[in-house]
Structure 1
Amino acid sequence: MKREGPSRPLPTLPAGGLRIVPLGGLGEIGRNMTVFEHDGSLLVVDCGVLFPEEHQPGVDVILPDFTWIRDRLDAVAAIVLTHGHEDHIGGVPYLLRERPDIPLVGSRLTLGLIAAKLQEHRIRPVTIEVAEGGRRSFGPFDCEFVAVNHSIPDGLAVAIRTAAGLVLHTGDFKMDQFPLDKRITDLRSFARLGEEGVDLFLVDSTNADVPGFTTAERELGPAIETVFRTAPRRVIVSSFASHVHRIQQVLDAAQAHGRKVAFVGRSMVRNMRIAADLGYLTIPEGLIVDIKALERMPAQRVALVCTGSQGEPLAALSKMAAGEHMIRVGAGDTVLLASSLIPGNENAVYRVINGLTGLGATVVHKGNAKVHVSGHASAGELVYCYNIVQPSHVLPVHGEARHLRANADLAISTGVTPDRVLVAQDGAVIDLVDGRATITGAVPAANVFVDGQTVGAITESSLDERRALGQEGMITVVALVDVDTRQLAEPLDFLTRGFGHNPGDLDAMTPAVEKALAELTGTTARDPDRQEQAIAGAVSTWIRRTYGHAPVVIPVVIEA
């Protein structure tokens, strides 16, 4: 449940104190955004999106709620981006619409990815490139950047120093000891910061309920190689468009087995071009060809890399599964889903798998082969970090409620005092004052829905109506009402869409409508709006009792 408004008035932040407000990422996998307030200035760490689930029809993405900072955007010193995944940078264009000159701070690849995204929104950002080991101040916030290993290159943790104390935010991370780019999580810096004294530790919780250590990326090599070696016809690989490491493994396997590769999907083409241009992706000469060139090549010498690993309806793989893409999947093709299942996407992904299987393809996925590992630290790695950092306070972030609770339990098991482990939700206000962090209030943190070019106009009520339309259908009731008698001048007329009934059945609701009109009294009896409300209520009640359904009812009153 998202917090729609403050539960109690916020106390004034004491002089010298630090206020931490997570506006997203606590209670969901996505929408990651945390705001820090100190000495009249604000620092934003990440600004991501959450992807909609099936019960949110028509929604493109879900944003954090900017209400709390909207009137103070001039006070935002910078937006620090920990890495280039959509759940951490996808909301940036929408925030910059409200103040385009907020500096964006991030690593080289992260800034490259966000700059391309902002170009589509016709925003020219102010960017500040940083790297691990760097240290830079933004207003009163002294930020040090620490290398962390994740499923995308160039991830950074950020240590934030203020007069109130030292905060360490891990961003998304894991402790792969054999990463493909040889860039490991800098535990020496974590330990050094721990010696300095970390007052508040914000820790990635996504895999906190997974025992042990996360599998190394390099262990996927044999499974990917097997697919490329044994596939009798085309290999179609679907992955996150930002997973540069996984794509590198795919390209290496294609090169080794004499297959040419084409990228499919706008975001995949864009991101791989950026990664190659910046030196994060090594592409052997002549390996990549235009998709049209593949049509003239033997199927056993072809590989495609596309988007749609989460079953997104408009992505390339979903269209292939539905037979709506220029690439026609058939018998002998092998489809490799080289990604994990994001919670909430299970039905969409299995629908794609079933569609591809029905077309005759062999589908290789996490459920039947080792073709994906997580980008997040498991319980053993988190405990390791707690023992190294030994923080005074812990705020689990980036996870659903079960992940946050599991992470909190890990922190307590390593010796962090239970009342200093803060299990919070989006919108919680945490104040760090005189070395003590406490939850002091809450601010609005509702889901903000993006539907096409519309931001925030769709509400939960709108989604209720969409769900009702999709599940129950719609009935339009046209009533010709006599102005003087307030009675029906003609029989009701019904227009239905998606509601099953036999011809003539709906005429039986006429007495209920007549009764509702007759019960109107005084001036309201002649008010067409009140008449429509009465008709809608009567029709809805009659249909629910008669059919057991609740379609959307649209009453139309015409005065006769």
Structure 2
Amino acid sequence: MLNIATEKNNGIPPKLTKNTLRTYPLGGLGEVGRNMTVYELNGKILIVDCGVLFPEEEQPGIDLILPDIAKLEDRLNDIVGIVLTHGHEDHIGGVPYLLKMRQDIPLYGSQLTLALLQAKCKEHRLTPKMHVVAAGETTKLAGFELEFVAVNHSIPDALAVAIRTVAGLVLATGDFKMDQLPLDGRITDLRAFAKLGEEGVDLFQADSTNADVPGFTPLEKEIGPVLEQVVSRTIGKVIVVSFSSHVHRVQQVLDAAQANDRQVVLLGRSMVRNMKIAADLGYLRVPKGILISEAQAADVPDEYLVYMSTGSQGEPMAVLSRMVKGDHRVVPGKDDTVILASSLIPGNENAVFRVIDGLVRMGCNVVHKGNAKVHVSGHAAAGELLYCYNIIKPKNVMPIHGEYRHLVANASLAIQTGILPERALICENGSVVDLRAGVAKIVGKIETESMYIDGKSVGKITEHDLQTRMTLGSEGFVSAIAVVSAKTGKLVNSLEIHARGVAEEARVFDEIKPQLIKALEKELAAGKRDRNALQKQMRQVLGRWLGMKLRRRAVIMPVVVVID
């Protein structure tokens, strides 16, 4: 039986004892995004990753979702550093918001990771303290000794981190897979994993995203020939859509375009920014003359163009969605091919399918992972994870990065390789795990919340606010306005009702007006003059009528003005 955190050990964690390592995730468990794990030892705190999650349909108006960084507000001076495993948004996107709480927190990551983050921090007018590290290097921060290990992922320069402490050795993989023929020649360093295993890994925190996928993740190099073939068959322009940080995929698009005598236009601010950084640092090889600007593309026939765009998750404001809406200069047509060269992040399915449907209506040929091999995952499948467990032979396992089913699948793999069931810890955001003398236990749980970014507002949007927004969007809004005299206890003017998104014609509300007036006059006749009490009565009467008559649960805003 798995040690499931949701079933027990959910109480307040005990006081942390000396030389015990405590770790708890503030995001990234039970979800794909906003990854952030905290490690605490003898009064000092180390953080690994601080990412963002993109909103779903039931979170209208929200730009980004952060880990619960507010939990560290009283401990900011105890933070000795933030380690960043790689440059994807779900691992670095939340860093600027944490730095706004304390700007001088040291950041540790690879060259590309920190370069991508520096560009983000510049937009926030932050100048972070950055320390570039490389695979094989070690560094000490207070009681934490960090060793960085090369891992292969869908972005170059990714790192796992081994954390040595007096309480034991932790190995956190970050996002990784075991592609044996990677485009950049940089494989996951299994020799380093094996050496750590010989030393004795007390807690293994492994990427769970593909733990329920049998076998091995396909090779990245298999995508290139498919892209070249699709481009060669297209009469008009080609639009390839991917994450703005997927350097390997952009490299393959550049190569496919060159093979077909086409030029490439990068679309989307983040795509342009990230690829310039990657090219300047040597992670992206750009053939001479192949990249042109969007303005230059206006003079080039469609059959000689490939556009590389953002919007692979159906984001409303991303380039691809704007194309479908006709709100972009580039308009897909019947001779064009759109390639969705990315996987679906759970929760984004409906948005992506709507975009695909819109493209098909426009006459485009849409190529995606479901009908062609145009994308492979950046995460280790079950076979790769089994290799890791057998090589490392950890004493305790804490699956990270994934929805609940992924975490359970990962723990199940660990148990199959000989890990004791009680040492396979299924955790949630906020689950507190203490490591001491080679034993890791869930000792409690801290309450964590999502922190919402809404424009310039950070963390001030509540779940209630989101529910209200959803109700406004689906059920509509009704306001009822009444002016009453405190002296006479009568309505001064006729009661007004205004509605949006509830009924097509205003006269629908003629039926309820007499009932509202009667209810108000009854309260006033009883001597009641309290504005809040009168508004409450109006809300109850109007709410019952809306539910029974129109079958709606609109947001109701009663307004009573009491005059002398």
TM-score (norm 2): 0.96
Shift of 1:502: 4.2
- Give the deviation of 1:508 after TM superposition: 2.6
Q: Are the equivalent residues in 2 in contact too, given 1:56–1:463 (CA < 8 A)? A: yes
Counterpart in the other structure of 2:316: 313
What's the RMSD between the two structures over aligned residues?
A: 1.8
Equivalent-residue separation in structure 2 for 1:7 and 1:193 (angstroms): 32
Counterpart position of 1:251: 254
CA distance, structure 2, for counterparts of residue 523 and residue 147 of structure 1:
77
**Residue number among 87, 102, 121 corresponding to 2:90 in the alignment:** 87
Question: Is the CA contact 2:502–2:552 (under 8 Å) kept in the aligned structure 1?
Answer: no
Pick from 139, 146, 150 the counterpart of residue 147 of structure 1.
150
Q: Alignment partner of 1:525: what SS? A: coil
2:266 to 263, 267, 272: 263
For 2:322 and 2:166, locate their aligned partners in 1 and report how far apart those are by CA, in whole Å. 54
Q: Deviations over 1:338-389 (max 9, x none)?
A: 1111111111111111212222221111111110000000011111101111
1:111 aligns with one of 111, 114, 120:
114
Residues 202-211 or 434-443, more deviating: 434-443
Unaligned 5+ residue runs, structure 2? none
Is 1:285 paired with 2:288?
yes
Q: CA deviation at 1:483?
A: 1.5
Instruction: Verify the 8 A CA contact 1:14 1:433 in the aligned structure 2.
Output: no
Structure 1 residue 453 corresponds to structure 2 residue 456: yes
Aligned partner of 2:407 in structure 1 is 404
Q: Relative to 1, partners in 2 of residues 1:383 and 1:7: Cα closer, same or farther, differing over 3 Å?
A: closer
What per-residue deviation string (whole Å, max 9, x for no partner) do you get for residues 36-61 of structure 1? 00011000000000111011111101
**Alignment correspondent of 2:28:** 25
Tell me, in whole angstroms, the C-alpha distance in 1 between the residues paired with 2:167 and 2:34. Answer: 27
Distance 2:322 2:429 in 1: 35
Confirm or deny that 1:379 pairs with 2:382: yes
Match of 1:442 in 2: 445
Query: Partners in 2 of 1:486 and 1:156 — Cα distance?
Result: 73
Q: Distance in 1 between matches of 2:284 and 2:538?
A: 63
Tell me the amino acid that sits aligned with residue 200 of structure 1.
Answer: L
User: Is 2:224 aligned against 1:225?
Assistant: no
Match of 1:367 in 2: 370
CA distance in 1, matches of 2:261, 2:408: 48
Structural mapping, 1:330-349, within 5 Å? 330-349=333-352
* Contact map agreement 2:275 2:284 (CA 8 A) in 1: yes
Q: CA deviation at 1:559?
A: 1.9
Match for residue 394 of structure 2 among 391, 396, 413? 391
Residue pair 1:134, 1:145 contacting (<8 A) in 2 also: yes
Amino acid at match of 1:37: E
Aligned sequence identity (%): 55
> Does the 8 A contact of 1:517 with 1:531 survive in 2?
yes
Distance 2:183 2:355 in 1: 30
Query: Paired residue for 2:182?
Result: 179
Q: Which secondary structure does the structure 2 equivalent of 1:270 belong to?
A: helix
- Answering whether residue 195 of structure 2 is matched by residue 192 of structure 1, we say yes
CA distance, structure 1, for counterparts of residue 479 and residue 33 of structure 2? 39
Higher mean Cα deviation, 356-365 or 58-67?
356-365
C-alpha separation in 2, matches of 1:443 and 1:182: 42
Report how far residue 505 of structure 1 moved: 2.8
Shift of 1:313: 0.8
Q: Which residue of 2 aligns with 1:164?
A: 167
User: Counterparts in 2 of 1:459-470, with a 5 A limit?
Assistant: 459-470=462-473
Q: Mind listing any 5+ residue stretches in structure 1 that lack a counterpart?
A: none
Secondary structure of the structure 2 residue equivalent to 1:478: strand
Check conservation: 1:262, 1:289, Cα contact below 8 A: yes
Any idea what the Cα deviations from partners look like across 1:215-241, whole Å, max 9, x if unmatched?
010111221011121111111111101
Match of 1:475, SS state, is strand
Q: Deviations over 1:514-539 (max 9, x none)?
A: 56546769999322122222212221
Return the alpha-carbon distance in structure 1 between the equivalents of residues 519 and 206 of structure 2: 58
**In the alignment, structure 1 residue 500 sits paired with structure 2 residue 529:** no
Q: Is the 8 A contact 1:68 1:444 kept in 2?
A: no
SS in 2 for 1:405: helix
- The letter of the residue matching 1:295 is A
**DSSP 3-state at the match of 1:406:** helix
Q: Are 1:235 and 2:270 an aligned pair? A: no
Alignment partners' CA distance in 2, 1:524 and 1:205: 65
Which residue type is aligned with residue 84 of structure 1? Answer: G
Pick the aligned partner of 2:219 from 216, 221, 243.
Answer: 216
